[in-house]
Amino acid sequence: MFSSDLSEDQLRMRLGHMSSTHCQVIFSMGDEYVPDYVDKKALVERLCRAMGGAEKVEIEYGNHSLSNRVEEAVNSIIDFLKREGPKGWDDPWS
- The pLDDT tens digits of the residues spanning 16-29 come to 999 999 999 999 99
Q: The whole model's pTM is what?
A: 0.83
Average pLDDT, the chain: 91
pLDDT at 90 over 80: no
Q: What's the confidence (pLDDT) of residue 93?
A: 66
Residue 87 confidence class, pLDDT cut points 50, 70, 90: confident
Is the distance from CB of 51 to CB of 2 less than 8 angstroms?
no
**Phi, then psi, of 83 in degrees rounded to 5:** -80, -40
50-71 pLDDT, tens per residue?
999 999 999 999 999 999 999 9
Strand segments (E) across the chain = 24-28, 55-59
